[in-house]
A and B are shown apart, each in its own frame.
Chain A
Amino acid sequence: MDILTEDSLLIKKYVSGDEKALEFLIAKHNKRLSSFIYSKVNNRDITEDIFQDTFIKVIKTLRRGTYNEEGKFLPWVMRIAHNLIIDHFRKTSRMPMFQGADSFDIFSLIGDDKLNAERQLIKDQIDCDLEVLVAELPADQREVLIMRIYKDMSFKEISENTGVSINTALGRMRYALINLRKIIEEHNIVLTN
């Protein structure tokens, strides 16, 4: 039995429900097809992906009963792989993939400035603790600090709203901070992020 007829026999067996025949088919052409793909893409992971996609197409076509190239199984599979390789290069040229190397890491340029879950939790905790500490401040200092830090108002706006001079507002802000530090030190509170 020559190789080509053996393929068509395996296909017939597979189509009629013998899963073992597919295993033989894959094992038989694994090396040749993988080498063909690898010679084009030069990357083991991409070779595996394309090999897998090729056989998924093969399986679908055989199971749908639309395969009609009797005796030319390998050239047909190679053509599918070839088309998938072209698709791969089209995709990568449209959207180049950068891989991190020791000399250059793309993530040193692209960063995610959002806090991760742990840091967000710590930040929330600190905000919560600070709220309690701010509540301890004398009313005039607390008012200025809240306007400046939480409401993001300028000292000019604060002075207009509270009816005191800019210098007084600045002074109250200064004392608010000094007192906050004092409370933190007195109670040995650690606020870090």
Chain B
Amino acid sequence: MGKIYATESDKHRSAKASPSTVKFLLDYSKALEITEANGLQFESNLN
């Protein structure tokens, strides 16, 4: 029984976002530009 529980929790522990997802986030962060005008913030993505 204990063994079964151990396998299940291992499955959860091994979950990890893929390098492509991480790369997307880093690229997104680099492309995101926040500009402020008259107290309002505008988002824009620079390619």
Contacts and interface: CB of A to CB of B under 8 A. Distances in A.
Contacts of A63: 29, 32, 34
Contacts, number: 60
Contact of B16 (A19, A34, A59): A34
A interface, size bucket: 20 to 34
Given A48-B17, A51-B17, A35 B12 contact: yes
B15 interface: yes
B21 interface: yes
A99 to B, nearest CB: 19
Q: Is the interface of A mostly helix, strand, loop or mixed?
A: helix
A34 B17 contact: yes
Interface residues of B, number: 20
B21 A59 contact: no
A165 interface: no
Contacts of A59: 25, 28-29, 32
A64 B41 contact: yes
A24 to B, nearest CB: 11
Contacts of B14: 35
A52 B17 contact: yes
Ordered nearest first, which 8 A-B pairs have the shortest CB separation?
A: A38-B15, A34-B15, A51-B17, A39-B12, A35-B15, A55-B25, A35-B12, A59-B29
